[in-house]
Chain A
Amino acid sequence: MSKLTVVEGSYAVAHAAKVCRPDVIPAYPITPQTHIVEELSQFAANGEIGACEYITVESEFSAISALIGASAAGARTYSATTSQGLALMHEVLFNASGMRLPLVMTVANRAMSAPLSIWNDHQDSIAQRDTGWIQLYAEDPQEAADMTPQVYKICEDSKIMLPAMACFDGFILTHVYEPVVLLEQDLTDEFLPPFAPEHILDPSNPKTFGAFADPSIYSEFRYMQELGMSAALKKIETVADEFNEIYGRYYGGLIDGYYLDDAEIVLVAMGSVIGTIKDVLDELRAEGKKVGLLKIRSFRPFPTDAIRNAVKNAAIIVPLDKSISIGKYEGALCTEIKASLYNTKIDIPVLGYMFGHGGRDIPPERIKKIVSEAEKAIVNGITIESSYADLREELL
């Protein structure tokens, strides 16, 4: 039986990063990610991460740029960021995936300014959706820690070679103290093989990284990234299973379900709100309501087939978004779930809700109200396809 320790979520993740034996960690502070790089700096100062080079860079832009240089030179790399820091990296995110460098970053999800907000939502990572990074979302500190070696194993696969973000909610998960199993070094060494890339910067075998492509060749680079993402669809599942075999914990592969099999109302969500939803579902099921949860663990690659299969018998699908696409008036999950169902024989109404922006709390009552509105929509049909679930009308 693994030993449970009460630690902060950030410590659990920093510890998980440490046991993955990173060679280079460029670090830059930003709330609410900072505790992760602070913990890692102490591990490095204690000599607990081997010969790891911990670099205190002058910006997130240089953090990820240093990751690119280090990874191209053959190093396993780690960093963590959030929000404005992730946005500052935007240009470099494309560059890393285009060069097929399997960088790993933890993203402590936070809202985007303006107005300035240090609290949680998913606008930051969702805004990086099309940069070619794998994106997984964790529901609690244990999953966030466990996800760390998993994403290394996924993105360092020679058929994938794409960078990955392990996302977990800022403050709600980074700053919460919970009992977790700190990842064991021996099990992690068994689970995660050393990084041994085929192509590196090496004077004994000179290679060119980052050439430019004219129109006759560019599309094929993008297509090959898509093939990498397709390979990741399978790998995310198998890695979750392998992790379960070695560590004895499982949080789903691409997706996971809770009371999903016979659910008429299927709530769809990512991240820490999953915990709240599970508690609410326990109550509602006790009342006999056929409500279930589809947890999206992998947002990129987007698990279209798995989602279709999971929701095909539902009466209504209810995506719950902590993002918003301003001008579309819905969140990314809502848009993508709807897109996944089009051109199929699945004809199920989709009722989208946005909530929890800028760290606004999502109490159980909010979920219950959404479920009751979904029940009415099953009978009466949908009048509004997407709306805010927690708008304070009195302020407008």
Chain B
Amino acid sequence: MNKTTELFAPGHRGCAGCCDALAAKFMLKAVGENCIVVTPTGCLEVFSTPFPESAWNVPWIHSLFENTAAVASGIEAALKALGRKNDTKIMAIGGDGATIDIGIRGLSGAFERGHDFTYVCVDNEAYMNTGVQRSGGTPFAATTTTTPAGKASFGNLRPKKNMPQIMLAHGSPYVATTSIAYPKDMMRKVKKATEITGPTYVHVHAPCTTGWGFDGSKTIELGRLAVQTALWPMMEIENGDITGVHKIRNKRPVEEYLKAQKRFKHLFSIPDGAEIIKKIQELADWNADQYDL
């Protein structure tokens, strides 16, 4: 492995403008080299470790799709038993499918047991590695390859599962939401999460150029629009209390966010599209009101 100054090295096989690569790079910059990373099966794992290459300049392990948190809990237990835990951080980085859907049992168990590790969900709102299928993180009305729009459907019928609230219900001392479009915010929150003892959770909103259908140069722009429309509220919750909210200066209408992506394109042509966009605006307004954005 070539040593570079980056803990997540360039030369991997991610798409131009890939959200996962940006997330991994900036999070490791924040956490530093005394860190063991666990990732599930998914884009990040596949494009960063085609044997015999690896983009990881920290110890890294991938086991399976649905057991990331359990593997992390085993690592934490081992380091404690062997007297090697010290200041070593254990960070799991999973996608929305691995976190919200297939891996939720193991994640719930690991948080309930109180292992000292940080779980980061990099949420690009569908199963991107298998070709953009719907997950529990897919937003209302988005099309995916398993929720296409058609005469009888406007796309995904359900809103996103509220994963941060679920993790909060486990009594986690630190739950935060952030976005790769705000790297400083993301780095600060991830670093803070790893420095707090106990199971901590950071949910990162991460626009996917391939899955959402936008140009690879617009990843950050899309991420910012999600926040500025109030569709993705960014906050910190410490010991159950909201201690910080990212305020929106000029709130943008959701149309700006929706029309920039192919996955919502149908909403601007189908007969009941305007009604659905109105519902999405209501979701954003609810967020703005609820969290005082």
Contact = CB atoms under 8 A, between A and B. Distances in A.
Given A58-B105, A58-B108, A203-B59, A211 B77 contact: no
Interface in A336-365: none
A57 B70 contact: yes
Given A92-B63, A206-B58, A70 B106 contact: no
A56 interface: yes
Contact of A56 (B60, B71, B105, B113): B113
A223 interface: no
B1 to A, nearest CB: 8
Contacts of B52: 211, 217
Interface in B42-59: 45-46, 49-54, 56-59
Contacts of B248: none
Interface in A41-97: 51-53, 55-59, 61-63, 65-75, 77, 91-92, 95
Interface in B17-72: 33-36, 38, 45-46, 49-54, 56-64, 66-67, 69-72
A43 B105 CA distance: 28
Interface string A284-307: 000000000000000000000000
A73 B82 contact: yes
Contacts, number: 169
A23 B82 CA distance: 7
B78 A62 contact: no
Interface string A17-55: 000000110100000000000000000000000011101
Contact of B71 (A69, A207, A211): A69
Contacts of A70: 74-75, 77-78, 81
A62 B109 contact: yes
Contact of A61 (B50, B60, B66): B66
A75 B81 contact: yes
Contacts of A208: 1, 49, 54, 56, 59-61
- Classify chain B's interface size: 35 or more
A66 B56 contact: no
Given A24-B74, A26-B74, A206-B58, A65 B67 contact: yes
Nearest to A217: B51
B79 interface: yes
Contact of B64 (A55, A72, A91, A213): A91
Given A24-B74, A68-B71, A73-B75, A210 B35 contact: no
Contacts of B83: 51
Interface residues of A, number: 44
Given A66-B70, A66-B71, A208-B49, A53 B61 contact: no
Contact of B81 (A23, A57, A201, A210): A23
Contacts of B84: 73-74, 202
Contacts of A210: 45, 49, 61-63
Contacts of B56: 206, 208
A23 B81 CA distance: 6
B77 A65 contact: no
B75 A72 contact: yes
B73 interface: yes
A68 to B, nearest CB: 5
A69 B51 contact: no
Interface in B87-135: 88, 105-106, 108-110, 112-113
A214 interface: yes
B81 A51 contact: yes
A67 B46 contact: no
B105 A62 contact: yes
A70 B74 CA distance: 4
Contacts of B112: 58
B158 interface: no
Contacts of B188: none
Contacts of A66: 70-71, 73-74, 77
Interface in A169-216: 201-203, 205-214
B161 interface: no
A212 B46 contact: yes
Contacts of A68: 61, 63, 67, 71, 74
Contacts of A69: 38, 61, 63, 70-78
Given A26-B74, A203-B33, A211-B51, A52 B59 contact: no
Contacts of B106: 58-59, 61-62, 65
Scoring B49, B58, B73 by chain A CB atoms within 10 A of each residue's CB, the highest score goes to B73
B35 A55 contact: no
26 contacts: A51-B81, A51-B82, A53-B77, A62-B67, A62-B110, A65-B64, A66-B77, A68-B63, A68-B74, A69-B72, A69-B75, A70-B78, A73-B74, A75-B77, A75-B81, A92-B63, A203-B34, A206-B33, A206-B57, A206-B58, A206-B59, A207-B59, A209-B59, A210-B63, A212-B46, A212-B51
The 8 closest A-B CB pairs, nearest first, are A69-B74, A58-B109, A66-B74, A65-B70, A65-B67, A75-B78, A62-B70, A210-B62
Interface of B: 1, 33-36, 38, 45-46, 49-54, 56-64, 66-67, 69-84, 88, 105-106, 108-110, 112-113
Given A63-B70, A75-B81, 6 more contacts: A26-B74, A62-B110, A65-B106, A201-B36, A206-B33, A208-B49
